[in-house]
Structure 1
Amino acid sequence: MPDTENNTTTDESAAPAPLPSAPSPTAPPVPVASSHPEKWGRVDADGTVFVKTADGDRAIGSWQAGEPAEGLAHYARRFDDVRTEVELLEARLKAGSGDPKHSLTSAKHIKESLTDAALVGDLEALQARVDHVMGRAQEAVESVKHARDEARQAATGRKQELVEEVEQIAESSTQWKAAGDRLRTILDEWKTIKGVDRKTDDALWKRFSKARDTFNRRRGSHFADLDRQRATAKERKQELVRQAEELSDSDDWGGTAAAYRDLMTEWKAAGRAPKEADDSLWQQFRAAQDKFFSRRSSVFDERDAELVENGKAKEALLAEAEKINPAGDLDAARAQLHRIQERWEVIGKVPRDRIRELEGRLRSIEEKVRQAADAQWRRTDPEAEARAAQFRERVEQFEAQAAKARAAGDKRRAEQAEAQAAQWREWLAAAENAVASR
């Protein structure tokens, strides 16, 4: 509609500053009207303002407040304001911010207003730009709708998967603890899944709840049966304890040992009793076994005089071996140790309760000789000095880099070089110590 302006101050101060436009490659360019308003409109001698269109000049208002150029500039700034609004809509669509449906509505409103808008500028190009924005907004609306539909389908599909998993657990799983933990995890995930329509969600939840109840009934029945089995196992194990205690005073060493092996087989076959009772009965059973085998060991120890003598012979051999001094003649020490090891094997077995002690002492002597050999090898290692020299060179390199960086005022690089020099200095000290200890 034609517009009459007597003062442009208020309109100019209210008009937002144009933002840089960011049209897509396919968007038609729209000139900034305020830079050349005379290209797009004119003001007649009577003050009537016209805008140039494809259908000819159209009167849009009257300007009586000043020079005609000021009038054209005023209506051109109005054009630039609308252009900026269109560009802002397009920028939001590109950035994916805001509601594309709202952007589409705004673009339609702008398009409708252009028919009789009091603007001076390239209305045809602006119209094409609005059409372009409307097209992009429509695409964005469809995209949002499609994404929402896909999200709903994905949420429904995921809940369907969870229901099927719960149903499978309910019908077949016997890993009661793991299955119970998994059901709780599934329920936690279920609560986070949104967007499923109410009818479908209710139907899936009914299946979920029914399957969970089925699992709980099966688990309850299983543990009820388990309690009955454990009660039976308790009675059987009490009987086995009684038999084991009767055998504990037997002097029939071979036959009773075999009987205890049979009792142990029966014990394992009896299954588990309630935990507290099972632990107590096992302690009683083991105590009866230990009593018998301890008595048998005592008798066997008395009979094993030969093993005792073997132990004494090995003690004497150890006393000889402990005098070996590998710090002197290492080759002689090795030869002496080898002869002692051969004699050790010839002596044979010792009492069971002395095996660890005697073997441990021999191992200690062998370790001493081995360490002496390792030390000799390290002392003669030709690479030790070379490593020390290499580490020393790296320290000097990094110290030089640090000094150069500090001279250049580069504190960060200087600190980095100093830290690296410190690390290589530690390695150098270790290498020099190894060389010095030869």
Structure 2
Amino acid sequence: MREADGERAVGQYPDATPEEALAYFERKYVELNGQVTLLEQRAKGGAPAADVAKSVANLTVAVANANAVGNLAALAERLGALGGAVTELTEQQSIETKAASAAAVAERAEIVTEAERLAAEDPAKTQWKQTSAALDALFAKWQAHQHDAPRIPKGEANDLWKRFRAARTTIEQNRKAFFAELDSAHKDVRTKKQHLIVQAEALAPQGADGVSAYRKLLDEWKQAGRSGKKQDDAMWAKFKAAGDVLYSVKSEVEAQDNEEFSANLVLKLELLTEAETLLTTTDRNAARDTLTVIQRKWDVIGKVPRDEVKPIEDRLRKVEAVVRKLDDDHWKRNNPETKARTEGFAGQLNDAIAKLEDELATAQKSQNARAIKNANEALEARKAWLKAMGQ
């Protein structure tokens, strides 16, 4: 093989023709050329600079000592050029690596920030099912980021993990404390409600008379709070069953009373028919006497069915109001002070009317149309006042 400083033996190929021997050593060159070409392509494609540099070093030695026939000097020159490209590639990849690392740090910091936000929530207002699911999702995201994202500096990675772990620990501690307190509160509520159930069931012998006491227990039940849906529903079923016993007896008693009081209702309706004739009367004395008799009979008759109490009582109150108004109106008309004022005012009106009649006669004689109109209007007004006073 001819080189710049002379010839160099590249090997022997016995038992072959010169052409066959030369072809063999040319193939060795072709193999080296292919390796250099492949390395150039890897460098252009952004292969790791350290890997490219290692391959350049190995191929440089291989070309220098190659037992091959071909332009080995050109291969050496190309490998030298690759060595310079490795330096540029190293700088570029260093910049890219730093940028990717910074982006990875920012992404992981976002995971930490979200975990710390969850940890800062008020435990009493936290929706723990959603928060626990969110925390699990953040942890899964953290693990995926560690596996798939570019590596970040160990110090920063450790600091971020410490923050994430601290937030996770805080959330777990708050959750455990919340549910421990909730369990304690539920236990107190269950104790109160069990005691109320015992009291409600003890009212059964009282029958309808126990309804009032049961209603008081029901108020306490509502104020006791909740103790968990499943347990609370079961306790409510027992408490309600105790009340149903009382209300069932009460309904039976009321049904019996209503049957017994139905006859009373018929009598009171007859009295109402008589009483309502007073709604149009003007004789206060007769109305008052009649109403007094009706009221006495009303009281003697007694109770009526519960649902009918208010309707018939309202009808009787209406009649009583009319009779009472007759007395009030009579008193207003015959009150000495009021009467004196009315008579005095009536006298003044009569005097004014007489005077206006004289003025009207004078105006008519003089045929003064305006004076006639004014006198007539004044006369009508005063006569209307006098009529309103019943004079």
| Normalised TM-score (structure 2) | 0.46
| Normalised TM-score (structure 1) | 0.42
Q: Which structure carries more helix by proportion?
A: 2
